[in-house]
Amino acid sequence: MLDWKGWIEVAKNWSRLKSNTHRVLAMNRRNLHLIYPNNPRRFFPQADDKIYTKEIMEKAGVPVPKTHRVYRYFYQLESLESDFEGVKDFVIKPAHGKQGGGIRVISERQGNDWVEVSGERHTTEDIKAHIYDIIFGIYSFDLHDQALIEERLIQHEEVNWLSPGGLADIRVILLKGKPVMAMTRLPTKASHGKANLHQGALGVGIDMATGRTIRAIHHGREVFHHPDTGREVVGAVLPYWSEVLSVARRAAEAVDLGYLGVDISLTPQGPSLLEINARPGLEIQNANLTGIMERLAEPAEGLFEY
């Protein structure tokens, strides 16, 4: 917003920008024409509650990370020591977390301590306190929440080459069961290993037919290389691409949300669904340099404009 050079460009190209807005799906139209008619409010928990999402997906046979345990109440934390016996690595997630908040990825055990992927060491008491915070609702803005302990996914080695700094995910946007657009998000040091574009992860647009990466953006600017490794991220072909799209389709079929974003990770065994989003963001268009409106065959039904 304080990008004054950008504003000058906007001003200079105003008439051409104005006449080509139909390409882009912008926020007002996304809400009014895609989310409200396709995602009735009562089905939002299917996406917002990660435990519920996993239940639905498991029933529909969509691959998801294995759940070790769910902590719903404070008293359940008493058995934490024994619950984690024999467990080497795991992920803690708040069921209602937003934008990756409250997620801890534990990669190994050293003596009595747990080591996070970042290298940070935690005692069992620290882990307990974190789960306590989650249940209390720190990461879900005042809701009593549940803490989900699940299997830590190992990344497919080709994806790991692109994204050694953390678990990359593939976001596929679907409308009425049909994949519309996709990108993969590669964590960076700046994003603290999180696949979150706002925090500095790379957004990489994907050719829907082939799974080839076509364009990358970092903080909204086009790049070609990973800022941490210097490796080229454009032109790579993602493994298991047709399986990724098929998992995304099956996930979309399993829920009652007509317009959604499906987040998938690639393991050596194939795609695994991380979560779904009932209000998928718009930055995917910049990663692909293509507007979502250009991909929608017909205008959304049942709407009127003035």
Partner 1 sequence: MRLFTASPNQRRTVYFSLVAFLVFFPLGIMAYKLFVLDYPLAGLIPAVSYSTDVTMQVTGHGDDMMLRTYLPRSDFRQTVTEEANASGAFTLTFENDGLNRVGVWRGERVTGTHTLHYTYTAQGTHVRYVIPDHLEIPQVYPAGLKEYLASEEGVPVSDPLIAQTTAQLFPKGKPTILEAVTTIHRFLQDQFANRDFSGYTDALTALKLREASCNGKSRLFVALARKMNLPARLVGGVVMESGSKRTSHQWVEVYVNGHWVPFDTINNHYMELPANFLTLYYGDQVLFRHSTNVNFQYHFNMNKRLVPKREVQNKLRDSVLNIFNLYDVFQRIGISANLLKIILMIPFGALVVVIFRNVVGMETFGTFLPALIASAARETGLVWGLLAFFTIILVCSFVRRALDWLHLLHSPKMGIMLTLVVLIILGLTVLGVNLSLFDLAHVSLFPIAIMAITAERFAIMEAEQGLGKAMKIMLATLVVITACYVVMDSLFLQSLVLAFQELLLVLIALNLWLGKWVGMRLTEFLRFRYLILRGEEVK
Contact positions toward partner 1, by CB under 8 A? Answer: 1-3, 6-7, 9-10, 12-14, 16-17, 20-21, 23-24, 26-29, 32-33, 42, 99, 101, 129, 133, 136-138, 142, 198-199, 220, 222, 282, 285-286, 289-291, 302-306
Amino acid present at 132: Y
Q: 207: which 2 tokens?
A: 């050719």
Encoded tokens for 66: 């294995």
CA distances from 244 to 137, 187, 224, 258 (A): 33, 19, 24, 19
SS3 state at 68: strand
CA-to-CA distance for 97 and 169, rounded, in angstroms? 17
DSSP conformation class of 151: P
Nearer to partner 1, 5 or 59 (CB): 5
d(CA 47, CA 50): 7
Distance, CA of 258 to CA of 248 (rounded, Å): 13
**From CA 32, how far away is CA 241, in angstroms rounded?**
31
Q: Which residues have C-beta within 8 Å of that of residue 78, sequence separation ≥ 6? A: none
Beta carbons of 194 and 118 less than 8 angstroms apart: no
CB of 288 to partner 1, least distance (A): 8
> Residue with structure tokens 């080459």?
161
The residue among 28 and 110 lying less far from partner 1, judged by its C-beta, is 28
Smallest separation, CB 247 to partner 1 (Å): 28
Query: Can you read off the two tokens belonging to residue 287?
Result: 């990663």
**CA–CA distance, 118 with 120 (Å, rounded to integer):** 6
* Residue among 83 and 126 whose Cβ is closer to partner 1: 126
Closest distance between partner 1 and the C-beta of residue 78, in Å? Answer: 18
Shortest Cβ distance from residue 140 to partner 1 (Å)? 10
Smallest distance, Å, CB 290 to partner 1?
7
Q: Which is nearer to partner 1, 50 or 54 (CB)?
A: 50
Residue number, 61 or 304, with CB nearest to partner 1: 304
Least gap, CB of 213 to partner 1 (angstroms): 17
Q: What is the closest distance, in whole angstroms, from the C-beta atom of residue 227 to partner 1 in the complex?
A: 16
Residue whose CB is less far from partner 1, 36 or 161: 36
CB of 198 to partner 1, least distance (A): 6
Q: Toward partner 1, which CB reaches closer, 18 or 59?
A: 18
- If the CB atoms of residues 40 and 177 are measured against partner 1, the closer one turns out to be 40
Alpha helices in 110-172, H assignment, sequence order: 124-136, 157-162
The Cα-based distances of 171 to 2, 10, 62, 118, 194 in angstroms read 29, 29, 16, 24, 14
